Structure 1
Amino acid sequence: MDEIDRTLISLLQQEGRLPQSLLAAETGLSQSAVHERLRRLTASGAIKIVGVADPQAVDLTLLAFVFVGLDRPERDDGFRQAMSAEPAVLECHHITGDWSYLLKIRAATVAGLEAVLTERIKRQPGVVRSHTMLALSTAKETHSLPILPAPKA
């Protein structure tokens, strides 16, 4: 991935619907060259063009972080698969320390969160404990990664 690819990704992270004509002007490429680079970046999985919903607009204002402890490492694969299939779980991270996983969950209500916890997370084989924290407010939440310069050859 070269500096132009990184510039394209950085621009699209700011606004995913930028026209290729603007991307071409920003990078000094032709529109057809931009189109080919975007096709290659998308095909390789380096970038995904998606819409990001506002949680308030879709009534998912409750944000919770849940630490989950599993009894044995052999349970990891099944737990990860179950969390990947659970729509309310936005992120599932295998972590170090006293817990096995950290989940980021969105729900409409406390009752909705409770249902996800009791019916879909705590019932997973091997789950022995959990600890839930509710976010009172969010000072920053982004999907944009800090794009570093291309390594010098």
Structure 2
Amino acid sequence: MDNIDLRIIGLLTLDAKRSLADIGSSVGLAPSTVNEQIRRLTASGAIRRFTLDVDPTAMGMQTLVFVWIALREDADETAFREYSKTHPLILECHHVTGAWAYLVKLRVIAPSEIEGFLAELKEHRFLGRSETVITLSSPLPGSFTPKEV
């Protein structure tokens, strides 16, 4: 990966819908060459996907929640990881050090959805114990990318 690749990635990070001509003028390449560079970066895995930056409030999902999770001793950790990849409320799932096994980030319409989420974890026999943190505000908002259902 060279400096031009890094500049193209930087421009796409700011606006993934940016035109090939605009990117080309910024990095000194023809639009067709930029297109080929982007295809190469995607094929190599450097660019994994193009996403939308959605306003969660506009989607009616005002509540940002973090759940610390300790799995049951008999839990199937591989099954939990797969479950996390496909659950529509889970935005991020991180295997962490310390007293907890995982930190999960959720976006919900109402706090009452958290109880349903925890009940699902119990039904699947994943949840040993948990601690839930509800965000009051976010001075530096992150991105919100809902999963396909």
Report TM bin, short chain.
0.7 to 0.9
Structure 2, unmatched stretches of 5+, are 144-149
Q: Residue in 1 aligned with 2:115?
A: 114
Q: How far, CA to CA, are the matches of 1:64 and 1:58 in structure 2?
A: 16
Give the percent of matched residue pairs that are identical in Structure 1 and Structure 2: 36
SS where residue 50 of structure 1 aligns? coil
Q: How far, CA to CA, are the matches of 2:44 and 2:56 in structure 1?
A: 29
Q: How far, CA to CA, are the matches of 1:75 and 1:110 in structure 2?
A: 27
Check whether the contact 2:8–2:27 (CA below 8 A) recurs between aligned residues.
yes
Q: CA RMSD in A?
A: 1.6
Q: Do residues 100 (structure 1) and 101 (structure 2) align? A: yes
Aligned length: 142
TM-score, length-scaled by structure 2: 0.88
Q: Do residues 7 (structure 1) and 43 (structure 2) align? A: no
How far the C-alpha of 1:73 sits from its partner, in A, is: 8.3
Describe the shift of the 1:74–1:109 C-alpha distance in structure 2 as closer, same or farther (beyond 3 A).
Answer: closer
TM-score, length-scaled by structure 1: 0.86
Check whether the contact 2:20–2:34 (CA below 8 A) recurs between aligned residues.
yes
Q: How far, CA to CA, are the matches of 2:121 and 2:76 in structure 1?
A: 13
Q: How far, CA to CA, are the matches of 1:122 and 1:6 in structure 2?
A: 44
Q: How far, CA to CA, are the matches of 1:13 and 1:75 in structure 2?
A: 36
Query: Which residue identity is paired with 2:137?
Result: S
